[in-house]
Chain A
Amino acid sequence: MESDDPRLLLGVFAPDRVRSIVVITTDGELAVAVRETVPSGVAVVRDARPDDAEEVAAACLPWPWMVVGTTDALRPGLASMLRLRPVLTLWLGPAPAGLPSHAVGFDRHSAVLAAIAGACVANVGGMRLAPGSGVELGDGSLLRGATLDALIGAYPRGFALPSRTFRSINDALARAGTGWTTARDASARVTLVPSPSSAVAQ
């Protein structure tokens, strides 16, 4: 059912399963720069304002791949989603209350753009982000799942989330014979690591 709010008819609120980057600013300038940074086909950039960022993020199915912000406040619903889901969270300037501990802060435009560009072309043991969604393995096959997309983009960093969030990804990585799994790093964040069995085999 369509909303009665004409503002919500904008394309930025249209639900989509393609990998998304939500950029929250008061004027849209950073979103324009992010869009110029992201290679074609890797992710759709959604230009959000502080008062509609929650609705924009909700349109990214199942959740945004990345949220980039410059605002000093965050609506509680969006903050809660960022703390519960593996979403790459990058902030320019002072971080608002409620961001997850795995959020990465920046003080320069160029640094945040470089981090976004790096995440888009991440290569973890031959696994790369496929166009649109999913992860392409070294043999050309595809593993689908927003959690794995997030782990690849964040590597070598990880997420301060419960291990159960990553259980199904571990199973999928093992079934596909990637030689990778997830584990907690020194900062207690879950990240991708070579699986012990593949290390033994080598």
Chain B
Amino acid sequence: MRANPEVLILEDDAETLEGLQSHFTRKRFHPLAARSASRALSLLEHNQFSSRPVLAIVDWDLGKAPDQAASSGDVLSRLARELRECPVIVYSQNIDAFNVRSQIQRSHPRALLHDKRDGDASLLERVDRMLDRTVGDLRIHDGTVVVHLPSLDQHHHREAIRLVVHHPDVVTFHSDTSTKAVRRFGEWLREHDSAVRLVSHGNRKYRLNVTVTT
């Protein structure tokens, strides 16, 4: 089954947002793009029963947003409460200021920080490093496929992508369908004699573990 993973992008500058959106579309992700925090919250709200973004990119300073009804902190808090396993990159011109970092950390304790002054290219490079990941003998290709490198066999499911993207973290899956997909991925790893194994932490929590052979 093929299911393209989604990426939430919150950026108040229209041109930058379009650039980010095109980047992810080219990589075969489905971008959930918003210029305001309210729109981002609405996308999360209406999307919660279809799938959950594998990544969120949030601009901390939303001075140019078409509406100011909500803040980036509100979006981060929502992500932390409801999608805590989704990696979040927050970028700001003022990321060096400890009070900005502290506000971000209180909104989303796991958010990764990025300096906006390094430019969009630097942000995209970081995102690509996170998404085009190699874990043991597995590699994510084009954001939508997990490739077993020794055999070049492919596994197409966003829950498999989620596990590889989040390695070594534990990921919680929220439905029977996604849990079944994860178990199928675990079987696929065993069938391919992969160096990566699926580890269950109970209560629909899983992580990948790389076996080191000597």
A positions within 8 Å CB-CB of B: 9-12, 14, 16-18, 27-29, 31-32, 35, 41, 44-47, 131-134, 140, 142, 144
Contact = CB atoms under 8 A, between A and B. Distances in A.
Contact of A28 (B98, B168, B201, B212): B98
B99 A9 contact: no
Interface stretch (B23-31, B103-111, B136-144): B103-111
A140 B196 CA distance: 12
Contact of B99 (A16, A17, A28, A144): A28
Contact of A27 (B73, B76, B102, B170): B102
A12 B209 contact: no
Contact of A131 (B101, B102, B169, B211): B169
A131 to B, nearest CB: 4
A11 B170 contact: no
B80 interface: yes
A11 B73 CA distance: 9
Contacts of A11: 76-77, 79-81, 84, 106-109
A131 B110 contact: no
Interface string B106-119: 11111000000000
B102 A28 contact: yes
B199 interface: yes
Given A11-B76, A11-B81, A132-B169, A29 B98 contact: yes
Contacts of B212: 140
A9 B84 CA distance: 14
B207 interface: yes
Contacts of A142: 199, 201
A32 B102 contact: yes
A14 B105 contact: no
B47 to A, nearest CB: 19
29 contacts: A9-B77, A10-B77, A10-B106, A10-B107, A11-B77, A11-B79, A11-B80, A11-B81, A11-B84, A11-B107, A12-B106, A14-B84, A16-B84, A18-B170, A27-B99, A28-B98, A28-B102, A32-B102, A35-B105, A41-B168, A45-B109, A47-B102, A47-B105, A47-B109, A131-B168, A131-B169, A132-B170, A134-B201, A142-B201
Contacts, number: 78
A112 B174 CA distance: 38
Interface string B160-172: 0000000011100
A31 to B, nearest CB: 6
Contacts of A140: 209, 211-212
A140 B81 CA distance: 31
A28 B199 contact: no
A31 B105 CA distance: 9
B121 to A, nearest CB: 23
Contacts of B79: 11
Contacts of B105: 12, 28, 31-32, 35, 45, 47
B109 A133 contact: no
Interface string B80-110: 1100100000000000001101110111111
A62 to B, nearest CB: 13
